[in-house]
Amino acid sequence: MQKPACPRTAKPYKLYTSIVSILLMLGVGQTASQEAQLTPTAEFQSFFSEQLFQLADNSETVDLSNNPQFATIRDLPDFSGKDLRVGLQVGHMDNNNPPEELAWLKGNTGARGGGKWEAEAMKEIVTVAKTILERQGVQVDVLPAIVPPGYEADAFVSVHADGSDSNHDASGYKVAPSEYDRSGRAGKLSDALARVYGEETQMRWDSNITENMTQYYSFSHHRFQHAIDPDTPGVLLETGFLTNSRDRHYLVDNPDIPGRALAYGVLQYLEEID
């Protein structure tokens, strides 16, 4: 897949870290951080009907205004009443008892960094994306590593994180469409997600698209029963590297940023095909 035509810059991140460093030197960093979490910006108050996202599995909340320098205010489409369904697969989640055809998945934990396994970090990102999509009238299935046989939806995104034990400088996100897609729309989903994810996170694009991505087992309906329907457009998103400190700024410290980017990308795609 060609590199998406969107800007990549580290300037917002450098500005952010500079401000934080100054605040810490003055001894007010903690207070400033708490105030940022408790006081949403006016833009986000008007953009969402509620200020905070409630996470599905605990009582914590995610304030989407705590990193306004990365936030793009978008006029999101409303798909209420259009019966659209999206599947978001959390990479490596609940794969302890796979079916015989996928027995090799057992014990495959994926990447680890910032004190979290891949499934833990991706579940937080997917939770944010699910909340946004549902607010825009889209039905969302959060799926484990093993999908139901012949799963059907208007879009399917398998959400993962990269990792490299030998190169902690490796960084960036990438998106790959299913090689086995028969809908003719997987490429459009991949392009929309790649473009919007880059715009929202300002992360660098990693051009290393592999066959393990395009021929992902959940796409391989000709090999496995537990795979998406060939008429369901599917893509695999590598959200960044858990082993890279800058990528972890998004994936672990601020999962609302990639979560929002994921949702916006899917909504952009649904609007394009609507």
Contact 250, 259 (CB under 8 A): no
Name residues whose C-beta falls within 8 Å of residue 170's C-beta, 6 or more positions apart in sequence. 162, 164, 206, 241, 243, 244
Tell me: the pLDDT tens digits for 69-87?
Answer: 444 667 899 999 999 999 9
The pLDDT value recorded for residue 72 is: 62
Spell out the CATH class of 74-273.
alpha beta
**The most confident of 20-24, 37-41, 47-51, by mean pLDDT:** 20-24
Mean pLDDT of all residues belonging to the chain: 81
Q: Is the pLDDT of residue 33 over 90?
A: no
Contact 238, 160 (CB under 8 A): yes
Instruction: Grade residue 1 by pLDDT with cuts at 50, 70 and 90.
Output: very low
Cα torsion angle, 61, 64, 65, 67, sign: positive
The pLDDT value recorded for residue 75 is: 87
Tell me: the pLDDT tens digits for 203-254?
Answer: 999 999 999 999 999 999 999 999 999 999 999 999 999 999 999 999 999 9
DSSP codes, 98-151: --GGGGGGTT----EETTEEHHHHHHHHHHHHHHHHHHTT-EEEEE-SSPPTTB
Q: Is the pLDDT of residue 182 over 70?
A: yes
Q: Is the pLDDT of residue 45 over 60?
A: no
Q: Which residue has the higher pLDDT, 39 or 162?
A: 162
**Cα–Cα distance for residue pair 262/162, rounded to 1 Å:** 16
Tell me: the pLDDT tens digits for 113-140?
Answer: 999 999 999 999 999 999 999 999 999 9
Instruction: Grade residue 107 by pLDDT with cuts at 50, 70 and 90.
Output: confident
Q: Say if residue 103 is exposed, middle or buried (CB neighbours under 10 Å; 0-12, 13-18, 19+).
A: exposed
H or E stretch covering 186: helix 186-201
**Cα–Cα distance for residue pair 248/250, rounded to 1 Å:** 5
Contact 127, 84 (CB under 8 A): no
- Residue 187 — φ and ψ, nearest 5°? -65, -40
Q: Is the pLDDT of residue 34 over 80?
A: no
**Cα–Cα distance for residue pair 194/6, rounded to 1 Å:** 9
The pLDDT value recorded for residue 274 is: 86
Domain boundaries, given as residue ranges, for the chain: 74-273
Contact 113, 75 (CB under 8 A): no
Contact 47, 235 (CB under 8 A): no
Per-residue tokens: 234: 């599917």
Least confident of 4-18, 119-133, 259-273: 4-18
Q: Helix (H, G, I), strand (E, B), or coil: what is residue 76?
A: coil
**Cα–Cα distance for residue pair 244/164, rounded to 1 Å:** 8
Nearest to 9 by CA among 65, 71, 70, 73: 70
Identity of the amino acid at 158: S
149: left (phi over 0), alpha (psi -120 to 50) or beta: beta
Contact 199, 6 (CB under 8 A): yes
Dihedral Cα 214, 220, 226, 230, nearest 10 deg: 100
